Amino acid sequence: MSFLSNLFKFGSQNMAIDLGTANTLVYVQDQGIVLNEPSVVAIETINGIKRVKAVGDDAKMMMGKTPDSIEAIRPLRDGVIADIEIAEEMIKHFIRKVHGKRNLFRYPEIVICVPSGSTSVEKRAIRDAASNAGASEVHLILEPMAAAIGADMPVTEPVGSMVVDIGGGTTEVAVLSLRGLAYTTSVRTGGDKMDEAIVSYVRRHHNLLIGDATAERIKKDYGIAMIPEDGVGEIITLKGRDLVNGVPKEITINQAHVAEALSEPIGAIVEGVRIALENTAPELAADIVDQGIVLTGGGALIRRLDEHLREETGLPVSVAEDPLTCVAIGTGRAMEDPVYRGVLMTA
């Protein structure tokens, strides 16, 4: 049996997958990140039979624009699998896309990162989805640990360091030392909640209904954590449906309005950081004063967020070099480098 499994594994490329609520990144051993696509699956129903129509970029373009027979689904919510069958199809699709059709007998070893607040049931769901997608072995790594490794933080040394990973569904706040998590908390606030906050702000103040894709574009292009110094900032043009007259309409808002809209989700993230600092052991807290806080994840790209956190905590705050890929790179390094091998878990 072991001979057969070794035969199947022969020549296979081990993979590390950052299975995110918003995007899935795949890191292949000795190659780096080879795939970065949205975690979206479009399902088509014909005569009551469901089949996968599109995955990733193609499916994301369909969101909010599909006919009744097609549904664009995001199988992950708040960083965990909400629909296991569709998540399995998505993982299979990405593995095939990376490996190519020719590698029918290749069964790679896969490392997947999971939020630190995941229950054993949620971890098992992720492991089963990867196993059914063709993995010979599945290892899990906690998201904040992967983010810290990807951001070149000294996780193997007896030094306390703090990472704040702001993803699509969750924000992971963790204090790390000696290959372990000394304290971790998971705040169910991330990029999705910021999009929702923008949608509800525009609806409340301007009676205009905008889609999630429009809200996401505003967050990426104009998102700011503090009201601009001139009190206005850049001017933004929005198109959506007027809720009073029911017709399409165009309005303008400014960056100060976006900062106001984002104040609640950003406040929840700041609160999560405060709670983590309150629960940190004194010796580790002393290290954090020197080391500071490192921001990773897509949410770290919100302008002036580091400045806002610096004001709120009084600690040095920096943004990782490439916050979007930190978790995927860290997961890949944990798979490749024996130094980090101890941080991997079996579900």
Q: What angle do CA 316, 319, 321 make, to 5 degrees?
A: 135
CA-closest candidate to residue 309, choices 143, 168, 171: 171
Tokens at residue 199, please?
Answer: 């949608």
By the 10 Å C-beta count (0-12 exposed, 13-18 middle, 19+ buried), 235 is classed as: exposed
List residues forming the annotated binding site for ATP. 21-23, 168-170, 216-219, 298-301
Q: Are 115 and 80 in contact (CB under 8 A)?
A: yes
Give the DSSP H or E segment for 196. Answer: helix 191-206
Return the bridge partners of 179, or none: none
Name the 3-class secondary structure at 303. strand
How far is residue 147's CA from residue 149's CA, in Å, rounded to a whole number?
6
By the 10 Å C-beta count (0-12 exposed, 13-18 middle, 19+ buried), 132 is classed as: middle
How far is residue 59's CA from residue 61's CA, in Å, rounded to a whole number?
5
List residues forming the annotated binding site. 21-23, 168-170, 216-219, 298-301
Cα radius of gyration (the chain):
21
Q: Are 250 and 238 in contact (CB under 8 A)?
A: yes
